[in-house]
């Protein structure tokens, strides 16, 4: 398959194949098979963004295999949901990478171009929601977005939010993480005119049911927000990136 790829690129170089044709062609090419995982190098082409490894439930060896395969293609790579131990071991194998403990993410990023058109703002309701917010932050940075944070502005002291209207109004897309009653995204979406993405977090106890209450609250928002799965900071930032590149 690599041979085909080279031929194709040679044709592009020589001008016998246009970029558009090559691009179309690449979208139909198969994936790379590591036995345990089929890496989808072409997603980068098809979706315009690099492969991301969901680290949870994968062995260290599996993760290393995937990262190695991607590094051989000189692709940037992001591994999410890995604890400190795995992160530290990855750093030894790939010293060019960075491990962010709060976000539980490891990444190698060489392409430093800013790709999104505006700024993505990550807002969190309370100190404990920061982890999910941080996962969103790292992901958003990784995909080349200008990204800012606003922490600990939950509804119990809503004046803290109103003192930050400036930054809210500068964002092109806003991600709001909130646990417990999950009300903050509704408030934010009632103030701004850009798309707001709500990410319920599993922060809470008793009748929070591991984030279910925040999830349901966001789905029933009387402001209009879009919602992601509990603790899915990555997904929200990926989606914000899609919007920010439009």
Interface residue with a copy of itself among 8, 12, 22, 31 (CB under 8 A) is 31
List the structure tokens of 204: 């809470």
Cβ 14 to a copy of itself shortest distance, Å = 27
| By CB under 8 A, residue 203 contacts a copy of itself | yes
DSSP 8-state symbol, 34: -
Q: Closer CB to a copy of itself, residue 61 or residue 92? A: 61
List the structure tokens of 101: 């403990």
- CA pair distance 84, 22, nearest whole angstrom: 41
Pairing of β 146-150 and β 119-124: parallel
Interface residue with a copy of itself among 57, 74, 112, 114 (CB under 8 A) is 57
| By CB under 8 A, residue 156 contacts a copy of itself | yes
| By CB under 8 A, residue 216 contacts a copy of itself | yes
Pairing of β 32-33 and β 38-39: antiparallel
Binders in 167-186 for a copy of itself, by CB under 8 A: 172, 180-183, 186
Q: Closer CB to a copy of itself, residue 121 or residue 225? A: 225
| By CB under 8 A, residue 16 contacts a copy of itself | no
| By CB under 8 A, residue 187 contacts a copy of itself | yes
| By CB under 8 A, residue 104 contacts a copy of itself | no
| By CB under 8 A, residue 23 contacts a copy of itself | no
Cβ(244)–Cβ(173) below 8 Å: yes
Strand partners, 52: 78
DSSP 8-state symbol, 127: G
Nearest to 33 by CA among 1, 72, 7, 78: 1
H-helix or E-strand spanning residue 199? strand 196-200
| By CB under 8 A, residue 48 contacts a copy of itself | yes
Interface residue with a copy of itself among 50, 87, 97, 195 (CB under 8 A) is 195
């Amino acid at each position: 398959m690599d041979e085909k790829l080279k031929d194709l690129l040679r044709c592009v170089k020589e001008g016998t194949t246009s970029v558009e044709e090559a691009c179309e062609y690449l979208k139909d090419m198969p994936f790379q098979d590591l036995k345990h995982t089929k890496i989808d190098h072409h997603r980068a082409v098809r979706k315009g963004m690099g492969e991301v490894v969901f680290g949870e439930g994968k062995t260290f060896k599996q993760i290393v295999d995937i990262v190695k395969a991607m590094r051989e293609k000189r692709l940037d790579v992001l591994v999410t949901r890995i604890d400190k131990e795995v992160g530290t071991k990855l750093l030894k194998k790939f010293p060019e990478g960075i491990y962010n403990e709060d976000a539980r993410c490891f990444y190698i990023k060489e392409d430093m171009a800013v790709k999104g058109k505006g700024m993505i703002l990550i807002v969190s309701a309370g100190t404990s929601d920061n982890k999910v917010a941080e996962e969103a932050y790292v992901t958003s940075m990784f995909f080349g977005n200008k990204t800012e944070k606003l922490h600990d502005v939950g509804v119990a002291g809503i004046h803290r939010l109103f003192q930050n209207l400036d930054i809210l109004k500068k964002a092109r897309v806003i991600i709001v993480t909130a646990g417990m009653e999950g009300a903050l995204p509704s408030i934010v979406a009632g103030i701004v005119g850009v798309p707001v993405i709500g990410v319920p977090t599993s922060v809470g106890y008793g009748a929070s049911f591991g984030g279910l209450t925040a999830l349901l609250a966001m789905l029933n928002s009387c402001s209009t927000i879009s919602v992601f799965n509990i603790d899915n900071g990555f997904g929200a930032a990926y989606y914000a990136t899609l919007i920010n590149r439009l």
